[in-house]
Chains A and B, each alone.
Chain A
Amino acid sequence: MAELAIEANNLTRKFAEMTAVSSLNLQVEKQQIYGFLGPNGSGKTTAIRLFTGLLKPSSGHVKVLGYNLPVDAERLRRQIGYMTQKFSLYDDLTLTENMQFIARVYGLNPKEQKSRLDELISIYQLTALKKQLAGSLSGGQKQRLALACAVMHKPKLLFLDEPTSAVDPENRREFWEQLFDLCDQGVTILVSTHYMDEAERCHKLAILENGIKRADDSPAQLMANMPANVIEVSTDNLRQLKQQLVALPEVVSASQLGAHLRVLVNKSIADPMTFLKQSHIMPSHTAMHLVRASLEDVFVLSTGNHIMPRASINKVEQ
């Protein structure tokens, strides 16, 4: 088994009544990109704060790069980079001033500073923005600056909390190229996201909901192990059909995608096409195809964003 960068056992964090992270067991291997996928408030940021020693766990243990937290948090800090969800550099400093600040804080001497800044500015294409106040940068530019600052001291482990939330698809691809470059250089990356296409790029993925890990595996395995088949239905009057379909206990979820209805049928039904035809609610001129499961289907199945019989929730959880 490969070396672990993060190892969490029964990690729990409560805020008063609310449990933000609940009995999280997690293993992140070194030199991988590990994704956190989950809806708003699912505990992604809280989990990252627990891994960086910013918050203390209510119970459970976590070991990051071999350091026990929160005891060894201070020693860990030199080896990790953290890009916060909300821009946390100084709005009233220019891009260069912000980078110099970070470089000094991490103890780079003036000569190292200069060469490292030049290097990062060219990698992250910030040359034209050097003298601009950080507060006036666009969302995507801010995120490039934040990433440049997070990797200033060449950390072994990088935490990125929704790094591309303000980045357009084109730049997002570019951003991920850079993440893979870092990964190639031996950096382990933990990244949280709302985007399916990003989640699909990760080596491994954990799906979180209400602070509970619903599933974790590589994206391909998650899709292969999904406990439902996906049927694409095209016909008229989709809204009404959807209502009737979700009333069936075997139908896990039905959602409209343009002129299609994407229907997830529990895997306990061996032949879902025949099952749907025999359900007598399909109009006669209906076209049906069995299609490949997507990560979104996995996400929908794993999280509570659909009408799902109790039995199949349990199936996903185990």
Chain B
Amino acid sequence: MNSLLRIQAIVIKELIQLKRDRMTFGMVIMIPLVQLLLFAFAINTNIRHIPVGIVDQSQTALSRVLQQTITATSIVDFTRHYTSLAQAQAAIDRGDVRAVLVIPDDVSQRLVRHATVGFGTSSASDQETSRPIAQWLVDGSDTAIAASIKSLRNMPLAELLDKPVNRNVPTFEVTIIYNPEQRSVVNIVPGLVGIILTMTMIMFTSAAIVRERERGNMELLITTPLASLELMIGKIFPYIFIGAIQVIIILGLGYCFFNAPINGGLWQLTFATLLFICASLVLGLVISTLAKNQLQSMQMTVFILLPSILLSGFMFPYEGMPEIAQYIAEGLPATHFIRLVRGVVLRDVAVIDMTFDMLWLIGFTILGLILAALRFKKSLD
């Protein structure tokens, strides 16, 4: 009974302080807003309109049609023309363009013999027929750009000649069930919930205990009958609501402006989010009991945040990471939450069916809370 009263005392105090702290209050709203816009616009794995150059050695009608066909894919824009290969090479070195298309003077002959157009028969031993019609010089430093240009390698050339297309029958049929248009924003928005919650939730509570220490309030708090677990619970409770507000902002905006679907049930979403909010808040508390001052707590928050962004599956697929990175990822609450939230939001899975990730977050929260309460000594030593 008294215990509840003491927790209530801390919760009310935190809420009043939060209300008076305009800056932090503003952050609650601004961080998800700005981050959502930044990530949704900036992260785009489908790259378009890369500026490239061209060296046209054949100067024929065919080479011009070839250019137009490539431009029509809207993957590249031909912005520069060079007369020699050396010039093109220098332009790439200077960074003027990311790639250059070299069209040889015998492009017409090559095209006629080309396999995809249907004249020759493709056989590895026949060097003449399997020669490509033109060459791309690509600056491979940025792998995403290089990959986009590589995707042009097997571009169909049927329109170049008025010939029926000899389409190869694909070995596999690929049916895309979720996100059929393959828009990256669909995957990013739910993932972003995990990243923003990691950022704000850990940040808020990682300063919670150190701040009391720095401002001298701790000496008062520890002379009262307040127990450490009561303090810890009271400290994280108000932020659960803050986290919920942020989730609503991200998913709501994502839904309205970026058409990011919410396929799963709202209760499932609430449950998954609550699990993660609690886990993150508790992680912040643990940091707070470790840090000596607010700067340290900030540094530790960043220390957690970076791997959460990079390894949680938010930016790069978990499956593609080296084993060691996967181990680290398994230790981050964000990884488990991003699995859960993508499952719920994109594939309408029940949280209960993703048992491992659910139990992991629950276990993390309980252990973290105990650890924080144990680490927090009611003394000044």
Interface residues in chain A, defined as those with a beta carbon under 8 Å from any beta carbon in chain B: 49, 52-56, 70, 73-74, 77-78, 80, 82, 84, 86-93, 97, 100-102, 104-107, 109
Contact = CB atoms under 8 A, between A and B. Distances in A.
Contacts of B217: 88-90
Q: Can you list the 7 inter-chain pairs with the closest CB atoms, starting with the nearest?
A: A104-B9, A88-B220, A107-B2, A82-B223, A105-B224, A54-B380, A86-B216
Interface of B: 2, 5-6, 8-9, 12-13, 16-17, 20-21, 215-220, 222-226, 378-381
Contacts of A97: 13, 16
Contacts of B226: 105
Nearest to B11: A104
Contacts of B378: 73-74
5 contacts: A88-B216, A91-B215, A100-B9, A101-B12, A104-B12
Given A101-B12, A104-B5, A107-B5, A52 B216 contact: no
Given A56-B381, A86-B216, A97-B16, A92 B223 contact: no
Contacts of A84: 216, 219-220
Nearest to A45: B219
Contacts of A87: 216
A245 B76 CA distance: 98
Contacts of A74: 225, 378
B222 A54 contact: yes
B380 A88 contact: no
A93 B13 contact: yes
A78 B225 contact: yes
A300 to B, nearest CB: 32
B13 A107 contact: no
Contacts of B20: 92
Contacts of A77: 223-225
Contacts of A107: 2, 5-6, 225
Given A84-B220, A91-B215, A102-B224, A49 B6 contact: no
A90 B13 contact: yes
A35 B333 CA distance: 54
Interface centre among A53, A89, A105 (most CB of B within 10 A): A105
A49 B9 contact: no
A105 B379 contact: no
A106 B5 CA distance: 9
A102 B221 CA distance: 9
Interface centre among B6, B217, B220, B380 (most CB of A within 10 A): B220
A55 B379 contact: yes
Contacts of A88: 216-220
Interface centre among A78, A90, A104 (most CB of B within 10 A): A104
